[in-house]
């Protein structure tokens, strides 16, 4: 009867001892084998001994050696079940680096490769073999470039087969992905043997693992292609509606998107946006007829109605002068726009964006240009300059032209929601820039500040990962300049720790004292007094008058003063108004001297500075009307009068002063706690003692 396959005869020798011929059962633990050998020589402490090969590399024998030999022997089993069982154990142990080295050193990869190339079993055995092969190769002991062409072609056959076990094709795709990324030569073989249509078929199968591996191989092929080949491949994939399928069936699938698929979508997005890099790196050529015509088309779309050519009947010099003026109105810094577009980045990409906006949103384009080119108050927003800088900004936010990260998963679902996503995003962003410009009441000197705000608006909205361009448009338009300032303030407070519950509680306790300080300052300002201008019926500011509060806060004193003279002495003022007679404080349009003047731009400016005091004059109600010389004086006086009347001081200046005082006082109070973390919650109060039967006897003297 033949001995079992896992039992082998080996000779064991030791210095100064008679060699032994033993039957080694590879299924036994190594410790048990060593115990038997040591017992034969009457040696104690078997755990202090080890077996070592007597020839060759003279390595010590470990459990991994025995297990690797046993499993590789199982691959030669004539029984399918025996091979399957050996492969299952091999897959479980292959992630261990030491075990993998043992298997590889015993030609384990060649044995697995033979099973894969033979393809006798297309079911579980093949799937286990591919998995074990992948696990062993992942350790990097053997290079992917050493794989043979027949082997790679055989794996390609498994990918291209129509009727194939569902567990085999994801593994075959994963193997080809590693081959493509690691070996350019074999990658070209995979690219020629695996058609894109086949990968699209795999992507459309409702199997998340198969979709992920197909997308992985697709992105690997795109990364290995030349720029021209990549553009051709992406154009073909987009024509085959890959974008729509990804958006509807992968991004919006019922199953959650895995990290691996998210990474491959990020890579696909980065590679697609990378197609814009050549245009971004190419400056405008002033001698190119096509580019000159594009610039003229941009100007004509803004300033020449259809059927009305520029300067019909004018001389050539006059037409050139008119063109140069219109290019400046369009927002170019130079009369020759080619000089503005020589900068790279954004190069020709900025021109592409402007043309796309003018052709696909002509009404918005005309409104933007004409609205700003006709303004004479220095608040015009330059379209061309803004477009050039905005294109640079979008390229930075979307990392156009940067190499793909190996781990990033930061893709934008909006990118897959429609074609020409970059140009469409520009169309939304340029209109946002115009809106923000108006909100900031910016001038040309504020251009960089506006761009900083727009960058923040776009970055914050992109971070929300809106699922469509319309959702992006809605979200970014709600993020106004005021909202950006509020978010900045909140984040600053968070960084300083001033929004922690204990700090907020401290701020609330400090508020009454600080509001009293602000009230005192406002009343002192009223006591100092202010020069106001009288407004005649013809809107002429031709007289001055002075008003102040008496030191005892009982009387308002006022009277006319001469032009050019300083503030008078309060005792010399002829008119007095007792504070006790004041009924109410009126501001803005509620003031009688504003209501009488109607509406108009000049009146609107006065309205923002106007306030009145209604008081008892005998049996009638009378008014003392003011026009503050500045917004600050308006806030100081309205706050001071509100304090006199016992009303809350609600001006913007009071809010700013209170915030500044709270910040300073809080920092002073917390000065000794620098670098000490403040807990969100107070420490728990310990439970009361079980009884209160204790006291301290003060009569006992301490030793």
Helices (H), 543-651: 592-595, 601-607, 631-644
CB atoms closer than 10 angstroms to residue 52: 9
The answer to whether 181 touches 223, Cβ cutoff 8 Å, is: yes
Q: Model's pTM, two decimal places?
A: 0.67
What are the C-alpha distances in Å from 632 to residues 466, 534, 651? 42, 19, 10
Q: What is the pLDDT of residues 342-370, one digit of tens each?
A: 888 888 999 999 999 999 999 999 888 88
Token look-up 């020759």 returns: 336
**Distance separating alpha carbons of residues 658 and 374, to the nearest angstrom:** 42
Using a pLDDT cut of 70, give the percent of the chain over it. Answer: 90
The answer to whether 468 touches 417, Cβ cutoff 8 Å, is: yes
**Which candidate, 213, 218, 26, places its Cα nearest to that of 130?**
213
Give the up-direction half-sphere exposure of residue 58: CA atoms within 13 A in the CB hemisphere. Answer: 2
The answer to whether 394 touches 454, Cβ cutoff 8 Å, is: no
What are the C-alpha distances in Å from 497 to residues 28, 492, 494, 509? 63, 9, 5, 17
For the four alpha carbons of 356, 361, 363 and 364, in that order, the dihedral sign comes to negative
Please compute the mean of the pLDDT values over residues 68-79 and round it to a whole number. 76
pLDDT beyond 90 at 218: yes
Residue 216 pLDDT: 93
Please compute the mean of the pLDDT values over residues 275-294 and round it to a whole number. 90
Helix, strand, coil distribution of the chain in percent, nearest 5: 60, 10, 35
For the four alpha carbons of 15, 16, 19 and 20, in that order, the dihedral sign comes to negative
Cα R_g (the chain), whole angstroms? 41
How long is the chain?
703
Top pLDDT among 678 and 521 is at: 521
pLDDT beyond 60 at 599: no
pLDDT band at residue 307, thresholds of 50, 70 and 90? very low
Lookup: tokens for 518: 């602000």
The answer to whether 526 touches 579, Cβ cutoff 8 Å, is: no
Residue 269 pLDDT: 93
Residue 352 pLDDT: 94
Token look-up 């005192």 returns: 520
Token look-up 């469409």 returns: 424
Query: Which H or E run contains 12?
Result: strand 7-12
Q: What is the pLDDT of residues 262-272, one digit of tens each?
A: 999 999 999 99
What does DSSP assign to residue 674?
Answer: T
Work out the mean pLDDT of the chain and round it to a whole number: 85
Top pLDDT among 540 and 286 is at: 286
Token look-up 């970055």 returns: 459
Residue 111 pLDDT: 87
pLDDT beyond 80 at 256: yes
Q: Which pairs with CB-CB distance under 8 Å and at least 24 residues apart come from 147-155? A: 147/113, 147/179, 147/183, 147/186, 148/113, 149/186, 149/189, 150/117, 151/113, 151/116, 151/117, 152/176, 152/179, 152/186, 152/189, 152/190, 153/189, 153/193, 154/116, 154/117, 154/119, 155/116, 155/130
In this structure, the strands spanning 530-534 and 543-549 are antiparallel
Residues near 398 by Cβ (< 8 Å), separated by ≥ 6? 273, 422
pLDDT beyond 80 at 308: no
CATH number of 79-269: 1.25.10.10
**Which candidate, 482, 488, 487, 386, places its Cα nearest to that of 429?**
386
Using left for φ > 0, alpha for ψ between -120 and 50, and beta otherwise, residue 25 falls in beta
**Distance separating alpha carbons of residues 544 and 534, to the nearest angstrom:** 6
CATH number of 512-657: 2.30.29.30
Top pLDDT among 320 and 88 is at: 88
Query: Which H or E run contains 560?
Result: strand 555-561
């Amino acid at each position: 009867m033949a001995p079992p396959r896992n039992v082998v005869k080996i000779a064991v020798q030791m210095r100064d001892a008679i060699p032994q011929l033993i039957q080694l059962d590879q299924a036994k633990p190594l410790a048990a084998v060593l115990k038997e050998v040591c017992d034969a020589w009457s040696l104690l402490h078997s755990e202090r001994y080890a077996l070592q090969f007597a020839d060759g590399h003279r390595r010590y024998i470990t459990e991994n050696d025995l297990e690797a030999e046993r499993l590789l022997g199982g691959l030669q089993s004539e029984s399918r079940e025996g091979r399957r069982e050996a492969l299952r154990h091999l897959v479980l142990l292959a992630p261990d680096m030491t075990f993998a080295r043992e298997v590889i050193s015993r030609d384990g990869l060649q044995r697995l490769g033979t099973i894969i190339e033979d393809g006798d079993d297309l079911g579980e055995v093949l799937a286990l073999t591919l998995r074990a092969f992948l696990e062993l190769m992942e350790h990097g002991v053997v290079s992917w470039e050493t794989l043979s062409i027949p082997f790679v072609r055989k794996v390609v056959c498994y990918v291209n087969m129509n009727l194939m076990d569902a567990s085999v094709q994801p593994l075959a795709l994963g193997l080809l992905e590693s081959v493509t990324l690691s070996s350019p030569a074999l990658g070209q073989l995979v690219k020629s043997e695996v058609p894109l249509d086949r990968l699209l078929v795999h992507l459309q199968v409702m199997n998340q693992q198969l979709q992920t591996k197909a997308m992985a191989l697709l992105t690997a092929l795109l990364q290995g292609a030349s720029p021209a080949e990549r553009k051709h491949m992406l154009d073909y994939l987009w024509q085959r509606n890959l974008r729509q399928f990804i958006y509807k069936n992968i991004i919006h699938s019922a199953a959650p998107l895995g990290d691996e698929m998210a990474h491959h979508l990020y890579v696909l997005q980065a590679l697609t946006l990378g197609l814009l890099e050549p245009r971004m790196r190419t400056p405008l050529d002033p001698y190119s007829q096509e580019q000159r015509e594009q610039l003229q088309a941009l100007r004509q779309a803004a300033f020449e109605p259809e059927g009305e050519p520029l300067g019909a009947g004018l001389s050539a010099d006059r037409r050139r002068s008119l063109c140069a003026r219109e290019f400046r109105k369009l927002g170019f810094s130079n009369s020759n726009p080619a000089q503005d577009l020589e900068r790279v980045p954004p190069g020709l990409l900025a021109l592409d964006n402007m043309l796309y906006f003018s052709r696909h949103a002509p009404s918005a384009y005309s409104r933007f240009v004409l609205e700003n080119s006709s303004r004479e108050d220095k608040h015009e927003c330059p379209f061309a300059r803004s477009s050039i800088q905005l294109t640079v900004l979008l390229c930075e936010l979307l990392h156009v032209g940067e190499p793909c990260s190996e781990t990033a998963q930061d893709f934008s679902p909006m990118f897959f929601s429609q074609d020409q996503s970059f140009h469409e995003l520009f169309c939304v962003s340029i209109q946002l820039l115009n809106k923000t410009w108006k909100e900031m009441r910016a001038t040309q000197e504020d251009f960089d500040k506006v761009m900083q705000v727009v960058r923040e608006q776009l970055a914050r909205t992109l971070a929300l990962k809106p699922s469509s361009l319309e959702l992006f448009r809605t979200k970014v338009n709600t993020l106004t300049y005021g909202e950006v300032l509020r978010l900045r303030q909140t984040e600053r407070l968070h960084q300083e720790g001033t929004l922690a519950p204990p700090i907020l509680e401290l701020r609330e306790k400090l508020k009454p004292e600080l509001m009293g300080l602000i009230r005192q300052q406002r009343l002192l300002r009223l006591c100092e007094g202010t020069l106001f201008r009288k407004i005649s019926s013809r809107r002429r500011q031709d007289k001055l008058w002075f008003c102040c509060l008496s030191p005892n806060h009982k009387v308002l004193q006022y009277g006319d003063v001469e032009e050019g003279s300083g503030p008078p002495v309060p005792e010399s003022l002829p008119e007095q108004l007792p504070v006790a007679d004041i009924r109410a404080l009126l501001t803005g349009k509620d003031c009688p001297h504003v209501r009488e003047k109607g509406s108009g731009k000049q009146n609107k400016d006065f309205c923002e500075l106007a306030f009145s005091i209604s008081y008892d004059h005998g049996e009638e109600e009378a008014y003392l009307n003011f026009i503050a010389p500045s917004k600050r004086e308006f806030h100081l006086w309205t706050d001071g009068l509100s304090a006199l009347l016992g009303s809350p001081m609600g001006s913007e200046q009071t809010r700013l002063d209170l915030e500044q005082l709270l910040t300073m006082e809080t920092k002073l109070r917390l000065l000794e706690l620098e670098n000490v973390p403040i807990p969100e919650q107070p420490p728990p109060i310990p439970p009361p003692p079980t009884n209160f039967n204790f006291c301290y006897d003060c009569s006992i003297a301490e030793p």
